[in-house]
Amino acid sequence: MDRHIRTVNDVLELLDGLFAREADRWSADGGSDWWDEFYADRDKAVPFFVAKPDENLVSYLDRGLITPGRALDLGCGPGRNALHLASAGFTVDAVDLSPTAIAWARDRARDAGADVRFLCADAFSTDLDGPYDLVYDSGCLHHLPPHRRISYLALLDRALAPGGHLALSCFAAGEMGSELPDAELYRNARLDGGLAYTPESLRWIFADLTEVELRRMHDEPPESPNFGEPFLWTALFRRDG
């Protein structure tokens, strides 16, 4: 007889197991085999494998919407945005579950002479050295199963400084990602590559924050120094103090 549900975290880990067959990213033991395989071939034609920062991040800095401080790059992958934040004067912690991604990011940082603290860990269960003036998320949210939005918001509660900003990009409904209702995802036990969001859903999820900007990511040509794909929303929210 198995009676092991006693806390909210027990429930979250139970629900994680429903999606473990698609990617070990959300298995209860925090495995990362699926993502390690994804990042293994550095020459693979994946749009965000380029060594370029997100165009919205560059725009926020250029317009003074965010200013240097302490930053957390959430789900940093090969580290392209973490390196740009460091070059802009931020003190950067960058976290990802995949050892392969972190190894690639460290190689890029070494080549660029960038000072970034890379952490191979689950950001939701790791004691991070907050508070942070900026939490930057380029594609983490849309890979979370619905119940892990609870963990995401709890992370912001403990890690985002008053007056700090959350900046994110995620799949845009009608362009990329699954548009199935949350309940249907559990019936199918799969995320189908990631979840699509509408502006209204993002505003509802982050209702405790103040919206600064929410728009579609600009389409950047190959010769641009910045990354940009129009199938993504970009959003900047502020935690009022």
Q: What is the pLDDT of residues 126-145, one digit of tens each?
A: 989 889 999 999 999 999 99
**Tokens standing for 240?**
């009022």
Q: What is the pLDDT of residues 138-191, one digit of tens each?
A: 999 999 999 999 999 999 999 999 999 999 999 999 999 999 999 999 998 889
Q: Is residue 70 part of a domain?
A: yes
CATH no. for residue 233? 3.40.50.150
* Nearest-angstrom CA–CA distance, 78 and 101: 5
Element (H, E) at 153: helix 148-159
Query: For 106, which DSSP code?
Result: H
**Tokens standing for 135?**
């939490």
156 Cα distance to chain centroid: 12
**Tokens standing for 200?**
């209204």
Q: To which residue do tokens 């990511």 refer?
A: 217
Q: Is residue 45 part of a domain?
A: no
Question: Does the structure show a pLDDT above 90 at 18?
Answer: no
Query: For 195, which DSSP code?
Result: B
For residue 194, with 0-12 CB atoms within 10 Å meaning exposed, 13-18 middle and 19 or more buried, which class applies?
middle
Range of the domain at 131: 51-238
Question: Does the structure show a pLDDT above 70 at 48?
Answer: yes
Contact yes or no for 229/52 (Cβ under 8 A): no
Band (25; pLDDT cuts 50, 70, 90): very low
Q: Is residue 39 part of a domain?
A: no
Q: Is residue 83 part of a domain?
A: yes
Question: Does the structure show a pLDDT above 60 at 26?
Answer: no
- Listed range (9-13, 20-24, 126-130, 139-143) with the worst mean pLDDT: 20-24
What is the structure's pLDDT at 40? 87
Q: Provide mean pLDDT across the span 18-39.
A: 64
Sort strands 160-171 and 232-238 into parallel, antiparallel or unpaired.
Answer: antiparallel
Q: Is residue 208 part of a domain?
A: yes
**C-alpha closest to that of 172 among 147, 150, 141, 149:** 141
Phi, psi of 235 (to 5 degrees): -140, 145
What is the structure's pLDDT at 27? 46
Q: Is residue 191 part of a domain?
A: yes
Band (198; pLDDT cuts 50, 70, 90): very high
What is the structure's pLDDT at 157? 97
As for how many domains the chain has, the answer is: 1
Q: Is residue 107 part of a domain?
A: yes
Of all residues in the chain, the percent with pLDDT exceeding 70 is 95
Angle at the Cα of 106 from the Cα atoms of 39 and 93, rounded to 5 degrees: 105
Q: Which of 19-28, 31-40, 159-168 has the highest mean pLDDT?
A: 159-168
In this predicted model, which residue has the larger pLDDT, 123 or 241? 123
The dihedral over CA atoms of 153, 26, 102, 37, expressed in degrees to the nearest 10, equals -150
**Tokens standing for 23?**
């990617």
In this predicted model, which residue has the larger pLDDT, 33 or 114? 114
Contact yes or no for 133/69 (Cβ under 8 A): yes
Q: Is residue 26 part of a domain?
A: no
